[in-house]
Amino acid sequence: MEKVAVVTGGAQRIGSEIVRHLHSNDYTVVLHYRSSGAAAQTLARQLNDIRPASCLPLQADLTYLADLGVLAQSVADHCDGIDLLVNNASGFSPTPITSCTEAAFDAMLDANLKGPYFLIQSFLPLLRARSGNIVNIIDVHVDFPLRDYNAYVAAKAGLAALTRSLALELGPDIRVNGVSPGAILWPEDASDAYDEATRERTVASTPLQRLGEPIDIARTVLFLAGQAAFITGQVIAVDGGRTLAL
């Protein structure tokens, strides 16, 4: 029986590497995207050229609950269950406490906590059908906050707590774990948080003295999904040891 994975935000950056790595390890991948349609279609074509009908791109806005049910039903129309759900889609914007609006705060919670929560709920029947896995992509800034990104950090901290809570609630049938990337790719459009001096300090304070690569996250996701049968409720930092020096 083919293994099936759903990867949210799978069109670009770390998400696309997770999709490629799972595909290269014989998963059929549902590639979710919100607005990166061209990139999603291109990646799907590349993977389907390698193995026909092995990558299904599906669009949804995960901040709208109605879209989640439609996404889950679309997946159910193509398979009888899923082996892995990777909650990778995320929002990343500054929300200084002095100027943050309710809308800005809600946007960070919707993208990083509410969306994953209700997506998991929508996919529970498909996960239970195969005793599947959930891997949530979190962030090392949960433990070492990034200035002015308080709502983002709070939402990711909630996702870390949800990971542990659902590991208790959904076991023994479904395992739930998290991966917390450190400095892998610099955020897009975030020069205020990661100017050149900050980037140099970040690398200098990392014991491995370099940035990580998206494949480092993808390999950890695959490990948790396929080789970690007695691990649940854990959040693994993939950060080159940087959190040890902070």
- The sign of the dihedral angle between the CA atoms of 57, 59, 61, 67 is negative
User: What is the edge-to-edge ordering of all strands in the sheet holding 133-137?
Assistant: 55-59, 27-33, 3-7, 84-87, 133-137, 175-181, 235-238
Residue length of the chain: 246
> How many whole angstroms separate alpha carbon 131 and alpha carbon 172?
8
Q: How far apart are CA 196 and CA 101, in angstroms?
A: 29
Nearest to 160 by CA among 71, 83, 87, 60: 87
Q: Which of 26, 232, 18, 236 lies closest to 131, judged by CA?
A: 232
Dig out the tokens for 159 from the structure.
């996702």
Strand partners, 44: none
Q: Which of 27, 33, 149, 152 is catalytic?
A: 152
CA proximity to 122, closest of 72, 74, 171: 72
- 152 annotated active-site: yes
Residue found by looking up tokens 């390999």 in the block: 219
Q: Which residues are catalytic?
A: 152
